[in-house]
Amino acid sequence: MLIAVPLNDRNFQEGLKACQEAGADMVELRVDMFEKLDVKRIKNLIEEVHKVGLKTILTIRSEKEGGTHIENREELFRELSPISDYTDIELSSQDIIPVVRQAVKSSGKKLIISYHNFEMTPSDWILREIFREARRWGADIVKVATKANSYQDVARLLCVGHQEEGEKILICMGKMGSVSRLAGFAFGSVISYAFVDEAVAEGQIHLREMVRLRSLFYG
């Protein structure tokens, strides 16, 4: 039951200090939101996170799923994935999944293959196929993040996800989905995301509150 905090490269040190002090377990480096894409500089940021005892998720989100267009995206994955504990690549980025998978697995790290739907939560059979396709592509962890338009959507995603074998991340976005960020742990979700400055997705909970609630409900 890990809590990750997405950070960009603006005021990175301040954000990292806040993560450490408030009890985060991981930092997600949202490289697609970085102002500077120098490989050596990003490597140094990953090392800074490791030095304070936190794990890293490398994410270079594609523009198709809420990120931005980056010309050297594949190169960044090849260079940075071997030193990050986890790397997140979208299921829709199948053109570069093999390259990313090779960089991650050859370094003994973990591959997150993710699916995002910012409008709705698909039907149960589609959710099941998303999990299975991500596994076929070599996911160590399958991340499914969908928009909850009702509490029934939250219940469906958590229940379907709970039935799927292997590690997974289950998130419902939006105000109604906020409960999933804590309840997901009870259904087998291994990572949830919080914020320290401002939320990067609707429904995120502040890190301090997430840590408090995790302790309250899960000990």
The answer to whether residue 116 is catalytic is yes
> Annotated binding residue at 156?
no
d(CA 58, CA 198): 19
Radius of gyration of the chain (CA): 16
> Annotated binding residue at 101?
no
d(CA 172, CA 184): 9
> Annotated binding residue at 7?
no
Q: Which residues contact 18 (CB under 8 A, 6 or more apart)?
A: 196, 197, 207
> Annotated binding residue at 29?
yes
Burial profile 60-83: b = 16 or more Cβ within 10 angstroms, e = fewer: bbbeebebeebeebbebbbebbbe
Q: Which amino acid is at 29?
A: L
Please identify which residue in the block is written with the tokens 């998978």: 101
Q: Do 117 and 147 form a contact (C-beta atoms < 8 A)?
A: yes
The answer to whether residue 55 is catalytic is no
> Which is nearest to 118 in space by CA: 194, 177, 173?
173
> Annotated binding residue at 20?
no
From the candidates 40, 43, 69, 116, which is the catalytic residue?
116
From the candidates 55, 143, 147, 168, which is the catalytic residue?
143
> Annotated binding residue at 21?
no
- Could you list the residues known to form a binding site for 3-dehydroquinate, using ranges: 28-30, 61, 181, 204
- Which residues are designated catalytic? 116, 143
